[in-house]
Amino acid sequence: MARWATLLENRRREKPVILIDAGDFCAVGKIRDQETRDKYFFKALEMLRYDVLAVAENEILFGRRNLLGKAKESRLQLVSANILDRKSGKPIFDRYLTLRAGGGGFLFFRSGGVKVGVFSVADPELVYGADRLVKEYYEIIDPRIAALDVVTDLREKGCDIIVALGHQEWDQSVELARGIPGVDIVVASHSSMPRARSEEINGVLVVAPGMNKTSFTEIEVAWGNGNTRMDVIDRGKELLEVKDHPELAELEERFNKETGRSGDIEVIK
């Protein structure tokens, strides 16, 4: 994360940035020092200045109330278009967000300000399969039905670009791109690919961002005169060449001192 922060700081000097996570950002399971780990992790997300975080099965396991509390403390925006509260029938988080980028994209835009709509959908099988109790509290509707409804709203709100965060496999994201008119970018975030992959499907850019330990994916969008150009760049190698951001490095050092360890999160199986 400390290197991510350096790369992002450099990019933000060059152009406007919208930073997103497409789901499963919460760590769940028997994790040592869980409370301390969560405190520092969500502080790091705040320092990185995430704009949108999608909700998937790990976030459901983390707990709705817990997640909402952490998001509020860290000033994070959560979205989910197809996970509903079973009792009320209403979405458990915002269905979508609209963001103004004053000259440039999904990670980056380059010219006159554009209005960007971002929403997320999760594969029902993944969410239901996370725990047997999920069905008692939540209803996960078909991602395509939820996407159709959301995209209609976002177009009516005048969005220039619409980004769908699809927490599902590559083939399902391709199907979403083919079946939902009005979407510009679909992120296939559960594709389990080590490196970024992209393909244009009927004018829709489908992107699998790769694994967070081996890649850092940028979607660069150039907008002007009603035309859009989108490029996908895997910045994984560039991360190896930048230094740790001092503020994030200090945060990591404080975490290690408080917990008495020096590496990644330990998940006890």
Structure tokens at 188: 């296939």
14 within domain boundaries: yes
**Average pLDDT across the chain, whole number:** 87
267 within domain boundaries: no
Q: What is the pLDDT of residue 102?
A: 67
Exposure string for 162-187, b = 16+ CB within 10 A, e = fewer: bbbbbbbbbebbbbbbeebebbbbbb
Q: Could you give the number of structural domains in the chain?
A: 1
Choose between 266 and 123: higher pLDDT: 123
Q: Chain-centre distance of CA 31, in angstroms?
A: 22
132 within domain boundaries: yes
265 within domain boundaries: no
**Which range marks the domain in which residue 52 is found?**
2-260
| Helix %, strand %, coil % of the chain (to 5) | 35, 30, 35
Q: What is the pLDDT of residue 223?
A: 74
155 within domain boundaries: yes
103: pLDDT strictly greater than 70: no
Confidence of residue 29 (pLDDT cuts 50, 70, 90): confident
Q: Chain-centre distance of CA 230, in angstroms?
A: 18
Answer yes or no: are the C-beta atoms of 55 and 92 closer than 8 Å.
Answer: yes
Q: What is the pLDDT of residue 177?
A: 95
Question: pLDDT digit string (tens) for 214-244?
Answer: 678 899 888 766 677 889 988 888 888 889 9
37 within domain boundaries: yes
The H-assigned helical ranges of the chain are 2-14, 34-48, 57-62, 64-74, 124-128, 134-137, 143-156, 170-179, 236-239, 246-259
Q: What is the pLDDT of residue 67?
A: 95
* Confidence (pTM): 0.88
Can you give the CATH number for the domain in which 202 is found? 3.60.21.10
Question: pLDDT digit string (tens) for 110-147?
Answer: 445 789 999 999 999 999 999 999 999 999 999 999 99
**Other C-beta atoms within 10 Å of 229: how many?**
10
Name the residue type at position 43: K
268 within domain boundaries: no
Range of weakest confidence among 63-67, 122-126, 195-199: 195-199
Q: What is the pLDDT of residue 266?
A: 43
Q: What is the pLDDT of residue 213?
A: 65
In angstroms, rounded to a whole number, what is the distance separating the alpha carbons of residues 45 and 27? Answer: 13
Q: What is the pLDDT of residue 106?
A: 47
